[in-house]
């Protein structure tokens, strides 16, 4: 385990993953907290799972832990960028999941049943949509490879409006991150998912006003910078 601990230190992690031996990767994302709000089924037994934008693979490995018979982890922006795929590969090796969790370098906008050669019982589309310049096209692509449950987690805004709407962030206005592009409101997200053939669309989580306010009070970049961020989780079923 000393060797594993040393290898963990050499990687720039995003997810916090508890590896064998009690080693926890030093990611900036509180993965266990984020998992709790997703409301995932307790069991994925007998299911195939696609993890879009897998990064270090926390959710891919969680799907395997819940009994998925096959998991395909996909990424492009992260794995081809400065972060690379080292974290994912090391964690998969440490868990001994090479036969269950596969990986493929493919962009969200290239997903299709033809490109992947299959569709999946469960698709995890977590923390990706708001980073994309074409969110409608991305939802179409992701929906096309889902034959059961789609779990969508993304930024949201303008939820007090009674009609579909979205806010564009052309600079660093959202979380001081210029890779953030869109916050789409709940009404629009639900409507878009229904147009893609999902019959049951249910919101299982949305950041509360109290949490946003409390977070904004402690934000280092100012109150409004901290208050703007708001997340939503939606389960859509065929």
Read off φ and ψ for residue 53, nearest 5 degrees.
Answer: 75, 55
DSSP track, 54-123: -TT-HHHHHHHHTT-SEEEEEESTTTTSSS-SHHHHHHHHHHT-TTTEEEEE--GGG--HHHHTS-EEEE
pLDDT value at position 100?
A: 97
pLDDT value at position 31?
A: 87
Q: How many whole angstroms separate alpha carbon 152 and alpha carbon 68?
A: 19
**Predicted model pTM:** 0.93
Q: How far is CA 101 from CA 70, 77, 91, 144, 222, in A?
A: 6, 19, 11, 21, 41
- Domain span at residue 194 reads 2-237
How many structural domains are present in the chain? Answer: 1
CB 218 within 8 A of CB 226: yes
pLDDT value at position 73?
A: 98
pLDDT value at position 208?
A: 61
Q: How many whole angstroms separate alpha carbon 64 and alpha carbon 67?
A: 5
CATH number, domain with residue 92: 3.40.50.150
Q: What is the pLDDT along the chain (238 residues), one digit of tens a residue?
A: 569 999 999 999 999 999 999 999 999 998 888 899 999 999 999 999 999 999 999 999 999 999 999 999 999 999 999 999 999 999 999 999 999 999 999 999 999 999 999 999 999 999 999 999 999 999 999 999 999 999 999 999 999 999 999 999 998 888 778 999 999 999 999 999 999 999 999 999 998 655 655 555 566 666 555 556 689 999 999 9
């Amino acid at each position: 385990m000393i060797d594993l601990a040393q290898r963990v230190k050499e990687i720039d992690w995003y997810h916090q993953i508890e590896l064998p031996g009690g080693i926890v990767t030093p990611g900036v994302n509180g993965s266990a907290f984020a998992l709790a709000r997703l409301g995932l089924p307790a069991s994925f037994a007998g299911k195939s799972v696609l993890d879009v934008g897998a990064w270090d693979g926390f959710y891919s490995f969680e799907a395997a832990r819940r009994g998925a018979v096959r998991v395909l982890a996909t990424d492009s922006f992260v794995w081809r960028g400065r972060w690379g795929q080292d974290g994912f590969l090391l964690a998969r090796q440490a868990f001994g999941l090479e036969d269950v969790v596969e990986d493929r370098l493919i962009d969200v906008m290239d997903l299709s049943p033809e490109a992947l050669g299959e569709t999946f019982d469960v698709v995890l589309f977590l923390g990706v949509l708001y980073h994309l310049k074409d969110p409608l096209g991305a939802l179409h692509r992701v929906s096309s490879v889902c034959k059961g449950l789609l779990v969508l987690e993304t930024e949201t805004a303008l939820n007090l409006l009674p009609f579909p709407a979205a806010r564009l962030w052309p600079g660093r206005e959202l979380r001081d991150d210029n890779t953030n592009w869109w916050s789409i409101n709940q009404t629009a997200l639900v409507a878009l998912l229904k147009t893609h053939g999902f019959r049951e669309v249910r919101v299982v989580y949305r950041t509360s006003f109290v949490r946003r306010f409390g977070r904004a009070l402690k934000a280092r970049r100012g109150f409004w910078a901290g208050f703007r961020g708001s997340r939503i989780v939606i389960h859509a079923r065929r």
